Structure 1
Amino acid sequence: MPGGAIAVASDHAGFDLKEILKRDLQEAGHDVLDLGTDSTQSVDYPDFGMAMADAVASGQAVKGVLVCGTGIGISMAANRNPKVRAALVHDVTSARLSRQHNDANVVAFGQRLIGTETAREALKVFLDTKFEGGRHAGRVAKLSKGCTK
Structure 2
Amino acid sequence: MKIAIGSDHNGFNMKEVIKAYLQDENYQFVDYGCYTCDAIDYPDVAFQVASDIRKGKVDRGILICGTGIGVAIAACKYPGIRAALCHDTYSAERAQLSNNAQIITMGGQIIGTELAKKVIATYLNSSWAGGSERKVNKITAKEKEFIEKSTN
Percent of pairs identical after alignment? 36
- Matched with 1:9 is 6
What is the one-letter code of the residue matched to 1:74? V
TM-score, normalised via structure 2 length: 0.90
In the superposition, relative to structure 1, how do residues 133 and 95 fare at CA in structure 2: closer, same or farther (>3 Å)? Answer: same
- Corresponding position: 1:144 with 2:140: yes
SS in 1 for 2:11: helix
SS in 2 for 1:66: strand
Alignment of 1:1-149 (within 5 A): 3=1, 5-134=2-131, 136-145=132-141, 146=143
CA distance in 2, matches of 1:143, 1:58: 20
CA distance in 2, matches of 1:46, 1:7: 15
Q: Which runs of 4+ in 1 moved over 6 A?
A: none
SS in 1 for 2:39: coil
SS in 2 for 1:33: strand
Contact 1:56 1:83 in 2 (8 A): no
Structure 1 residue runs of 5 or longer lacking an equivalent are none
Structure 2 residue runs of 5 or longer lacking an equivalent are 146-152
TM-score, normalised via structure 1 length: 0.91
- Alpha-carbon offset, residue 10 of structure 1: 0.4
Looking at CA atoms only, which structure, 1 or 2, has the larger radius of gyration?
A: 2
